[in-house]
Amino acid sequence: MQGSSREQQRKEQQQQHDARQAMDILTEMSNLLNTGLDRETLSICVSLCESGVNPEALAVINNVVRL
């Protein structure tokens, strides 16, 4: 039983590491493209896209809000 608990914990740690690494890459891409999105805003946009929000609609809203 304890072995599977350790395995589950290791799996969760790996998932957190992978998510952090993906966010680091997205943040760097955002900076290179001068999007003006900070890490928190970018994270919110990613979450919205994962929830089914149209990414093009988010881009339009972002551009309107920044004006």
- Terminal-to-terminal C-alpha distance of the chain: 56
Nearest C-alpha neighbor of 45 from the set 64, 27, 66, 18: 27
Number of folded domains that form the chain? 1
Question: Using one digit for the tens of pLDDT, what is the confidence trace for 27-51?
Answer: 999 999 998 899 999 999 999 999 9
Residue 66, pLDDT score? 79
Residue 63, pLDDT score? 86
Range of the domain at 45: 2-66
Instruction: Name the DSSP class of 1.
Output: -
Burial class (CB in 10 A: 0-12, 13-18, 19+), 35: middle
Average pLDDT in the chain: 92
What's the rounded Cα separation, in Å, for the pair 32 and 46? 17
Q: Read off the pTM.
A: 0.75
